[in-house]
């Protein structure tokens, strides 16, 4: 199984999450390729997709949204998982 993990990151945190997902998939025997969404030239040919973006003001970054729009035909009918990363808010939780 070939999985593409595509991400859009502004400060690197989402990239780190995507790389960790790729590592976890590879450890489970899955062929996983991790790439910035903006640099994916051809999304067809994968068996599944994991797509992630940093979220600012409740919106994904343009590179991630553009990736999904450009590749909707390749994504249709395939397993697709989405993840978002962003601030958790200003409240401090007591542990």
User: What are phi and psi for residue 44, nearest 5 degrees?
Assistant: -70, 155
**pLDDT (tens digit per residue) in 15-71:** 999 999 999 999 999 999 999 999 999 999 999 999 999 998 889 999 999 999 999
Region of 3 on the Ramachandran plot (φ > 0 left; ψ -120 to 50 alpha; else beta)? beta
**By the 8 A CB rule, do 36 and 8 touch?**
yes
Residues 6+ apart with CB under 8 A from 89: none
**pLDDT (tens digit per residue) in 75-86:** 999 999 999 998
Determine the structural domain holding residue 26 and report its residue range. 10-85
Domain membership flag for residue 46: yes
Q: Between vectors from CA 34 to CA 30 and to CA 36, what angle results, nearest 5°?
A: 160
Domain membership flag for residue 2: no
Domain membership flag for residue 52: yes
Domain membership flag for residue 29: yes
Reported pTM: 0.89
């Amino acid at each position: 199984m070939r999985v593409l993990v595509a991400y859009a990151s502004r400060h690197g945190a989402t990239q780190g999450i995507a790389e960790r997902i790729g590592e976890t998939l590879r450890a489970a025997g899955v062929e996983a390729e991790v790439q910035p969404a903006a640099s994916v030239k051809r999304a067809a040919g994968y068996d599944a997709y994991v797509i992630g973006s940093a979220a600012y003001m409740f919106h994904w970054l343009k590179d991630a949204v553009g990736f999904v729009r450009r590749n909707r035909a390749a994504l249709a009918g395939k397993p697709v998982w989405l993840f978002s990363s962003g601030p958790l808010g200003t409240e401090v939780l007591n542990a």
